[in-house]
Amino acid sequence: MDKRISISGEELVVKAERYTELLKEAKVLVDKLASMEFEITFDLKKSNTDSTNETELIERCDIDEKK
């Protein structure tokens, strides 16, 4: 199926500007995340062979941001 979409030049500019702003915001967040150190600890003693145990394992993970 070939669906053609018509968009005006003005709409295209607005969408491009919004996309640019989103990319800038994403870069700020990525830079902030890259500058952080995380410590993740979890208990491997419990079997995680089914999804219930995997969920419990994930819920028990401690994620602490080090400053």
pLDDT beyond 50 at 12? yes
Domain presence at residue 37: yes
Task: Answer yes or no: is 34 within a domain.
Answer: yes
The reply to whether 2 falls in a domain is no
Give the pLDDT confidence score for residue 60 in this predicted structure: 52
Cβ neighbors of 32 (< 8 A, separation 6 or more) are none
43: in domain:
yes
The total number of structural domains that make up the chain = 1
pTM: 0.47
- What is the extent of the structural domain holding 47? 9-66
Task: Kindly compute the dihedral angle of the four CA atoms of residues 54, 56, 58, 62, in this order, to the nearest 10 degrees.
Answer: -150
pLDDT tens, position by position, 17-35: 999 999 999 999 999 999 9
Residue 21 in domain: yes
For residue 38, tell me if it sits in a domain. yes
Q: Provide the pLDDT for residue 64.
A: 47
pLDDT tens track for 33-63: 999 887 888 777 665 555 555 555 555 544 4
pLDDT of residue 8: 94
Residue 1 domain flag: no
